[in-house]
Amino acid sequence: MGKSLVIVESPAKAKTINKYLGKDFKVLASMGHIRDLPTKKLGVEIDTEFHPNYVTLPSKKKIVAELRGAAKDADAVYLAPDPDREGEAICWHLQEAIVPKGKPVFRVLFNEITKKAIQEAIKKPGTVNMNLVDAQQARRILDRLVGYKISPILWGKIKAGISAGRVQSVALRMIVDREYEILAFVAEEFWSFSADLEGDSPPQLTSKLVKWDDQTLRMGIKAAKRTIANASEADEIEAILKKADFVVAEIKRKAKKQNPAPPFTTSKLQQDASRMLSFTVKKTMTLAQRLYEGKEIDGETSGLITYMRTDSTRVSDDAIQDVRTYIGEKFDERYLPENPRFYKQKKNAQDGHEAIRPTRVNLAPDDVAPYLDRDELRLYTLIWRRFVASQMAAKEMDETVLITQADAGTFETKGVVVTFPGFSAVFGEKSADDDSELPNVSVGEILKLLKLSKTQNFTKPPARYNEASLVKALEENGIGRPSTYASIIATIQNRTYVEKDQGKFVATELGLLVTDLLTNSFPELMDIHYTAKMEGLLDEVEQGTRTWQSLLSNFYGSFTEYLKQAEEHMPDIKRAGLKTDLICEECGKMMVIKNGKYGPFLSCSAYPDCTSAKRLRDLDASTTTVPVLKALISHVQVEQAPVDIECPECAGQLVRKKGKYGEFIACSNYPSCTYIHKEKVGMDCPRENCQGDIIVKKSKRGRVFYGCSAYPKCDFVSWDRPTGKPCPQCNEKTTYLKERKRGGNQISCASRDCGYKESAESLEAEAAVTE
């Protein structure tokens, strides 16, 4: 009897599963997809019901040959890629391209990589689910049609090398629309009051003014019946309050319960890992993949979490029983609810997989810590705690609201005392009100005013998206799937349509222009609701209630009309320009936005008869009502913030700019002056006979390093900052400041033979460098 062949995606997964199945099985990895649409042509026969012409990926030819040979020799082939649309498509391509005709071929599904799950899956194999394959195929062809048909139009109208995408462009639009909201926002003034009060018994309390003349006061962006709108009104109220008695008018007490959150879905894990661990979405998914594929613990390799691409909160009966047993053993009986918790699924959730949970709940974070790196452990801890907490008792609190009346003003203070931590003993962020005990006072008691604070406030514009809030918005609007969020975010950054500023997404000039043209030329494609509707249609294909050909046919009919209109009427920013509402000062014709070698600028529409042109940074955003122009002007002015340094070459103003590799300082008269300011460390190059200075540089990936100003004559470079001081131990080499995230900074000798190291606090090290 020969061996059976099992094919998975990754070598790590293959290594783990091979240990579970024994000598009768051979486990190989396909390294992901082996076939795809061709890269240099459309690859879709539109007139033949959108037939795709798949080709073997050039990088996979050797793997395909190896798999074909193994499949030929095997008694049977088991296809075991991930249990989702993409995994099912990989299975189908393997079946079509690898498995000989007539050879027994099976599809095996498992939600976790454990010995029990793998062996049970092999015992109960199925067949490739063609509905899932069709849904993936429809998505792939949709994305190919949009990318290959629209991108060339953008190359001709804006610049070469840029692209459009069915989902990425809508995500970009959300970021751009937020920029427009921020620019259109008008701050409104409002004033607030707080009073520090003292009763007959401690502690003191701080109370906020919430009403005046029984009308609710504005406390933020949300509108209210009454606003203290200016300083004079605030002064009048202050004078009244200072003379008033602060009388306890009412005391409200009630017991409250807070139930735990369900175990993680993919999007919720991405959001919490971003918010709590500062992980990017891509990093979260990479770490989760490692935890899913398995780690060797006590001589046994096992996956530590279930499949990480899911939008279900469902948990298997066995897992619920295991976690309830664990809670009962590790905690007081009060922490275990009488009945298991079951969580309501969101609308349109794909319930094929469980929620993300540990495969063995008895492996607490401390147990796996020796086998994981720091970030793997942090993510595992987050997943483990959330899952355990999801089956624990509610958090119980006593809430007290103390209402104090001072003349026409109503003040309110809230105090919360946690009477039973429940699930928060394992997972939960402490509220600002938790354990904020109020003094024991009685209705009618007059409290002593210790301090009255008056504060001027202004409403704030909506915040820009960070990774967590963008993922949340994509999910809420039904754009893409949790499994695609990482690639969406990566794509719009790689295309330089957005950049990050202090963790927030900011649309670039290119992103603003592309979005404006696409929104006007392809309104349906760029509509958030339409994109969500398309996700629903893909779900229908997956469920077998719609064919993938009919979905594509219905889409392509209107899409071709938009393509024709765009080719003829989309503004050519390279040549004719994008119309604005500004008038040329020299000839009176309309000014237009053009995209040149150095970015967008304003040009007269009568060019070449009129050569008038303006830099965007010389304009005032308030002079135009065109959203994209207003945004471009604001973007350039923020990008080119002046610094207090004069250009040594032309005496112009130096400005702080952002380039491909990060922030730098250059002359504002660019391109006529190309001076770039180089930050000096304050020491000579340590190389013998070199007259250069050590300057701060940045690599292509934006990482700071230190090099010689005499480059290329001198090629001295260092990741660590030279101090300019000799080593106190060997006195021959210079020392370097090594900046470390953990354990404190360190000063060390350049010579490996010396080995001198000295711990240094960051400020002390900086002083040593600049002394």
Compute the Cα dihedral for 493, 495, 498, 500 and give only its sign.
positive
Q: Is 307 a catalytic residue?
A: yes
CA distance 713 to 504: 40
- Backbone φ and ψ for 421, nearest 5 degrees, come out as -70, -30
27, β-bridge pairs: 6
Would you say 453 and 438 are in contact if contact means Cβ atoms under 8 Å apart? no
Catalytic residue among 78, 307, 380, 485: 307
454, β-bridge pairs: 193
Would you say 257 and 248 are in contact if contact means Cβ atoms under 8 Å apart? no
- Single out the residue of 338, 326, 292 nearest to residue 114, CA to CA: 292
Tokens for 692?
């250069």
Sheet containing strand 721-726, edge to edge, reads 721-726, 734-738, 745-749, 757-760
- Single out the residue of 152, 169, 265 nearest to residue 531, CA to CA: 169
Q: Which residues contact 321 (CB under 8 A, 6 or more apart)?
A: none
Instruction: Give me the residue label for tokens 């229908």.
Output: 540
CA distance 181 to 159: 27
The 3 state secondary structure assigned to 585-643 is CCCCCEEEEEEECCEEEEEECCCCCCCCEECHHHCCHHHCCCHHHHHHHHHHHHHCEEE
Q: Which residues contact 218 (CB under 8 A, 6 or more apart)?
A: 190, 224, 226, 227, 228
CA distance 390 to 341: 7
- Single out the residue of 236, 288, 233 nearest to residue 266, CA to CA: 288
CA distance 751 to 755: 7
How many Cα atoms within 13 Å fall on the side-chain side of residue 468? 13
Q: What is the DSSP string of 171-195?
A: HHHHHHHHHHHHHH----EEEEEEE
Would you say 656 and 643 are in contact if contact means Cβ atoms under 8 Å apart? yes
CA distance 490 to 297: 33
Segment holding 720, helix H or strand E: none
For 274-307, b where at least 16 C-beta lie within 10 A, e where not — what string?
beeeebbbbbbbebbbbbbbbbebeeebbbbbbb
Compute CA distances 488 → 88, 527, 690, whole Å: 21, 16, 48
Compute the Cα dihedral for 484, 489, 495, 497 and give only its sign.
positive
Compute CA distances 296 → 67, 114, 317, 371, 375, whole Å: 27, 12, 26, 7, 17
CA distance 407 to 243: 9
Q: Which residues contact 319 (CB under 8 A, 6 or more apart)?
A: 354, 357, 361
User: CA angle, 373 as apex, 371 and 377 as ends, to 5°?
Assistant: 85
What single-letter amino acid sits at 48? T
Q: Which residues are catalytic?
A: 307
